[in-house]
A = this chain, B = another copy of it.
């Protein structure tokens, strides 16, 4: 009986193949480091959070940033980036600890939308700050009166914390 069974039901192979096809995306995405829920993704999120936090601190500690609208916008958007990156880093760490996959459509869609919003805000704020930093430093040569080094550092950190990886 046991010997004949595999020969009598060779039809049972297709369901196994279908199951493999359904599992294929999950299996293919599993090896990509940097995705949500992997160690690489957690490291990237933490780096993004650190750069955004440094940019926020450097810009917020200059005395004259509230007088320029673009610098206020940079502080606001980099602060939002900090919150977002920190939240996702916590989610990634949780997923790693309980060994749970974050690769379902709802979660990935949420991450993509949130990343798109925060990265667009951070990029536009960094661009406008860069424009003003170059205006103060190169075009007007007024670095003696302003905190050019801090403005430039904060802008550079904001550019680094802007990424479009998911």
Contact = CB atoms under 8 A, between A and B. Distances in A.
Interface stretch (A43-51, A89-97, A129-137): A129-137
A127 interface: yes
A12 interface: no
A127 B127 CA distance: 6
Nearest to A71: B131
Interface string A109-127: 0000000000000011101
A82 interface: no
A131 B139 CA distance: 15
Contact of A132 (B67, B125, B131): B131
User: How many chain copies?
Assistant: 2
A105 interface: no
Interface in A115-166: 123-125, 127-132, 134-135, 138-139
A65 to B, nearest CB: 11
Contacts of A128: 127-128, 130-132, 134
A68 B139 contact: yes
B132 A135 contact: yes
Contacts of A131: 69-70, 127-129, 131-132
A105 to B, nearest CB: 19
Contacts of A67: 139
Interface of A: 67-70, 123-125, 127-132, 134-135, 138-139
